[in-house]
Copies of this chain bind each other. A is one copy, B any other.
Amino acid sequence: MSGSKSCARLQGVLLQQLLDSVDSILFDCDGVIWRGDQVIPGAPQVINLLKQHGKRVFFLTNNSTKTRRMYADKMSTLGFDVTEQEVFGTAYGCAVFLQTACGLQGQKVFLMGSQAMRQELETVGIQQTGVGPDHVSGGPGDWANVPLDPEVKAVVVGFDQDFSYMKLNRALQYLIQKDCLFVGTNRDTRLPLEGGRAVPTGCLLQAVETAAQRQAQTVGKPSPFMFDCLASQFGVERERCLMVGDRLDTDILLGSNCGLKTLLTLTGVSTLEDVAGHEESGCAERRRMVPDFYVESIADLLPA
């Protein structure tokens, strides 16, 4: 079904066939089930009905500002019947990555990120320094010789509303040490909001990468890490799994990379023109961002 790479509108018989062919459905959050604090109309019913009909439902978000617990609480408030075990955000994903892939349990990291990331790290036994404001003082000589914590084994960059020159500088000073690991949550450069507005997000990671002249390993989509966690934990069969998202460069690319069926919803970032651009590019890499199907909104899944 995903072989031909020509994106079809998902409705009627096609919709029924697709849902029959999958056991697990993965949803992105921002732009798919909500926009900011506004739920997408019909989304809670769709999620709850899918679960009532025996589908396993998971949430896979690059947003690093909430713990699993915070996501489950928000979802519950908005009418979704979801447990925190079903939510894979990059705050949690990053903690698991540092613990399992980097072997940093019981160690310390320099964290440019939210209190939520700090909580998820602490839950798996990783200490941090760096969360909160870090204002500048002195001049270049002082900045280059800023005191570093000798226990820090990695620089970890997520969304950080306290991002500052001094933090960027401190990250650089750690990363000049070649044995310091470097991990980021995600690369999507900005978070789209209602009415075409947006705020900066993943560009913070790029600023650190540019300063340090090093590339971070990332945990968020399209990296397969969080999907692999979820798949092994819940025994998910890739061929019987659907990824639903609003971004071609994260959600749909992740789905293609992991061998999942893919569905684009038009309530977020990417458009059908974006799809056509990739489809007609003749570039194999860009064609991986063409979804199998699209819907106007996930409410279109309701009839099935």
Contact = CB atoms under 8 A, between A and B. Distances in A.
Interface of A: 36-37, 133, 135-136, 140-141, 143-145, 160-165, 168-169, 172-173, 176, 189-191, 193, 196-200, 203-204, 206-207, 210-211, 213
A278 to B, nearest CB: 17
Contact of A140 (B140, B141, B189, B199): B199
A172 B37 CA distance: 22
Contacts of A210: 189, 203, 206-207
Q: How many copies does the complex hold?
A: 2
Contacts of A199: 140, 143-144, 169, 172
A165 B164 contact: yes
Contacts of A36: 140-141
B211 A203 contact: yes
A141 B163 CA distance: 18
A244 to B, nearest CB: 22
A36 to B, nearest CB: 6
A161 B136 contact: yes
B200 A169 contact: yes
Contact of A203 (B140, B145, B168): B168
A136 to B, nearest CB: 5
Residue in A145, A196, A206, A207 whose Cβ sees the most chain B Cβ within 10 Å: A207
A159 to B, nearest CB: 9
Nearest to A164: B164
A242 to B, nearest CB: 28
A173 B199 CA distance: 8
Nearest to A171: B200
B207 A145 contact: no
A165 B161 contact: yes
Contacts of A163: 164-165, 168
Nearest to A159: B165
A200 B211 contact: yes
Contacts of A145: 197
Contact of A168 (B140, B200, B213): B200
B160 A165 contact: yes
A169 B173 CA distance: 25
Contacts of A198: 144, 172, 176
Contacts of A204: 165, 168, 207
